[in-house]
């Protein structure tokens, strides 16, 4: 516990300081950010451990002892950010404060949210009464590139640090999502998993002056075109059905009816096609997806290569696995082409644990009484999938009331920024979640 005179930490100031430390991944020089947070913890009287698979890419973890009335609760977030392209109105690593907004790479993903989590953790450390259960904070590296050196390392090499943890708070959710004139608040409870396939085509090699039919590159190109033009079969999974019903409850009747029609398997594809661009965010939640991302073939301009290959980035619905997807794609392959599974992360749980949902929704409604929280299934991935291996249910819930056009539009985009007011109000909201966690465990015990 900290000393009574220890000064508080401001989430806006901390977020700005983190933004000014360029932790773009690649290369992912996160050590300065981790050092900053470890120093804050130490000056607040909280012991922490810095753990790393690569000394230049460390992680930090800390724990506050609780009252023993609830299991431990985990707060976690990452300090790496995606690289910043050109064209920003304010330098991406300036942490500039302009018209009530904090600008910079990571303002939304996720140095702003991380600052809220760290400040809520430090406030709990200073409070006269300990939290209901032990409170853990994990700040990680490498999330933007898969988490191998961050959350995956902590889970794989130090699982004992998370013993007894059932629930966690992190990204992605808790922000205002504007739909049909209504304010919805997604709380991420599930996400798709990822696998990596390699498609290889084979053919006769030779001299390009005397071309032969069915070259490896030609076969690869035709196969990719076939896969690219194929919509994989639609399926309504239970987590998505729960999400869509909850979204519909917060929308006007016309939109609600259209949304619920997606849950009728015979209509799912028809409704998605009819909705077109309006449903582009929902479409990936009803099917596995396959996208070619890397091509390899040939070494010399005057030699026809005997083989050519493509890497396929695939995102799988909850409960699906890479072998199912490979079996679905293989009928599309012509003679001379084959698929192999290179990487396959475990599938996310088919049914998320919603024990904390009502608590989180209640806190969000306190911030915006007209808002409508709903459980979100994300087509992307976060470090939640790594903690899921330990049986830890992550809730993506960083409370932030936002105007239209910020989330998720500006994530990974030029001119990323977050309102100062959202960080200031969101930090005590996380504090209320921490204080009320014993209500959840009593309810589900």
Average pLDDT over residues 265-278: 89
Spell out the alpha helix ranges (H) of 332-436: 357-367, 384-387, 420-435
Higher-pLDDT residue of 281, 399: 399
Give the C-alpha separation, 85 to 65, whole Å. 43
Q: How high is the pLDDT of residue 345?
A: 83
Average pLDDT over residues 19-36: 96
Q: How high is the pLDDT of residue 158?
A: 98
Is the model's pLDDT at 444 over the cut of 80?
no
Q: 10 Å Cβ neighbour count for 436?
A: 16
List 341's β-bridge partners, or say none. 197
Q: How high is the pLDDT of residue 441?
A: 58
Reported pTM: 0.90
Give the C-alpha separation, 379 to 316, whole Å. 9
When mean pLDDT is compared across 203-217, 343-357, 380-394, 404-418, the lowest value belongs to: 343-357
Q: What percent of the chain has pLDDT over 90?
A: 83
Q: How confident is the model at residue 25 (pLDDT cuts 50, 70, 90)?
A: very high
Q: How high is the pLDDT of residue 280?
A: 85
Cα–Cα separations (whole angstroms), residue 145 to 24, 52, 150, 170, 383: 10, 16, 10, 17, 10
Torsion sign (Cα): 59, 105, 41, 128: negative
Is the model's pLDDT at 61 over the cut of 80?
yes
Q: How high is the pLDDT of residue 188?
A: 96
When mean pLDDT is compared across 23-32, 56-65, 135-144, 268-277, the lowest value belongs to: 268-277
Q: How high is the pLDDT of residue 172?
A: 85
Q: How high is the pLDDT of residue 128?
A: 94
Give every strand in the sheet of 337-344, ordered side by side: 289-297, 307-316, 193-202, 337-344
Q: How confident is the model at residue 319 (pLDDT cuts 50, 70, 90)?
A: confident
């Amino acid at each position: 516990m900290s000393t009574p005179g220890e000064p508080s930490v401001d989430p806006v100031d901390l977020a700005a300081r983190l933004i000014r430390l360029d932790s773009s991944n690649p290369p992912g020089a996160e050590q300065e950010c981790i050092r900053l947070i470890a120093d804050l913890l130490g000056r607040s009287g909280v012991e922490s451990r810095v753990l790393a698979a690569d000394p230049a890419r460390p992680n930090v973890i800390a724990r506050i002892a609780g009252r023993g009335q609830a299991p431990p609760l985990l707060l976690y977030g990452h300090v790496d950010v995606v690289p910043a392209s050109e064209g920003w109105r304010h330098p991406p690593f300036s942490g500039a404060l302009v018209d009530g907004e904090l600008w910079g790479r990571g303002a939304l993903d996720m140095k702003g949210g991380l600052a809220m989590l760290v400040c809520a953790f430090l406030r709990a450390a200073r409070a006269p009464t300990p939290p209901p259960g032990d409170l853990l904070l994990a700040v990680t590296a490498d999330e933007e590139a898969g988490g191998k050196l961050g959350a995956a390392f902590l889970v794989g090499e130090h699982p004992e640090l998370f013993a007894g943890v059932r629930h966690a708070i992190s990204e992605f959710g808790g922000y205002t999502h504007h739909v049909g004139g209504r304010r919805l608040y997604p709380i991420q409870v599930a996400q798709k998993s990822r696998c990596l396939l390699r498609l290889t085509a084979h053919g006769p090699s030779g001299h390009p002056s005397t071309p032969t039919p069915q070259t490896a590159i030609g076969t690869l190109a035709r196969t990719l075109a076939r896969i690219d033009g194929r919509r994989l079969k639609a399926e309504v999974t239970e987590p998505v059905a729960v999400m869509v019903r909850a979204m519909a409850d917060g929308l006007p009747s016309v939109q609600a009816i259209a949304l619920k029609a997606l849950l009728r398997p015979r209509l799912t594809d028809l409704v998605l096609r009819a909705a077109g661009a309006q449903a582009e965010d929902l479409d990936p939640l009803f099917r596995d997806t396959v996208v070619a991302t890397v091509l390899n073939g040939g070494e010399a301009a005057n030699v026809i290569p005997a083989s050519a290959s493509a890497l396929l980035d695939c995102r799988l619905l909850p409960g699906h696995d890479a072998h199912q997807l490979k079996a679905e794609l293989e009928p599309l392959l012509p003679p001379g082409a084959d698929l192999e599974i290179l990487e396959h992360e475990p599938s996310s749980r088919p049914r998320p644990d919603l024990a904390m949902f009502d608590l989180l929704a209640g806190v969000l409604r306190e911030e915006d009484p007209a808002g409508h929280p709903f459980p979100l299934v994300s087509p992307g991935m976060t470090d939640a999938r790594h903690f899921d291996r330990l049986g830890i249910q992550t809730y993506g819930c960083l409370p932030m009331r936002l105007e239209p056009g910020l989330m998720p539009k500006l994530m990974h985009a030029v001119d990323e920024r977050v309102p100062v007011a959202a960080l200031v109000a969101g930090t005590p909201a996380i504090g209320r979640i921490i204080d009320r966690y014993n209500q959840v465990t009593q309810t589900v015990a």
